[in-house]
Amino acid sequence: MRYRIISLFCCGLFFLTSCAPVNPVSPTPADPPKPSPVTVINLVQGYLNTMDPVGVILDARFQVIDVVYEENANNKEIGITISINCEGLCSRERSFSALMMAFIGVKDKLPGVFPTTLKTFKVLTFKQLAATGEVTAKWQDIVDYLAGTITGAQLATRVTRP
């Protein structure tokens, strides 16, 4: 008898909970995790070290030394600054070009690495750790270049060198 009472009680409880009106709670979409600057550095640096083995000896060696995100008031990343050091025959344009070559080389690994909220892209260039200048571009131009919707020549005419 005791067995039946428990059994009926459990069935009644199940019945009540399954029939009770429930307001669905819609989860607040979580912001994607902030991309780690180290992830970007490691991804790009690995390619910079291997993309032009002859150029590394005869021309220039490049090293990504820092990646910094600029955030707006809502803590959304709106800009990215990549600092790149060069040893050898260096110019800010050559450093930017090498970085773009590296991006092309790893473009299959880039989706999800950079926030979708980015608007600006800045490259700070150094020669043996002495600042040599900067090159800036709209982030959308970088995305379009990587997707092949604009050419390298088009990207080159859209960058600024303050």
Instruction: Render pLDDT for 70-79 as a digit per residue (tens, 0 to 9).
Output: 988 888 889 9
Q: How far is CA 65 from CA 31, 51, 81, 82, 117, in A?
A: 27, 18, 11, 8, 23
Confidence at residue 30, expressed as pLDDT on a 0 to 100 scale: 55
Nearest to 58 by CA among 102, 97, 88, 91: 88
Query: What does the domain layout of the chain look like in residue ranges?
Result: 37-158
Please tell me which residue, 37 or 96, carries the higher pLDDT value: 96
Residue 49 pLDDT class (50, 70, 90 cuts) = confident
Output phi, psi for 132, to 5 deg: -120, -10
The answer to whether residue 9 scores a pLDDT higher than 60 is no
CATH architecture classification, 37-158 = 2-Layer Sandwich (3.30)
The answer to whether residue 110 scores a pLDDT higher than 90 is no
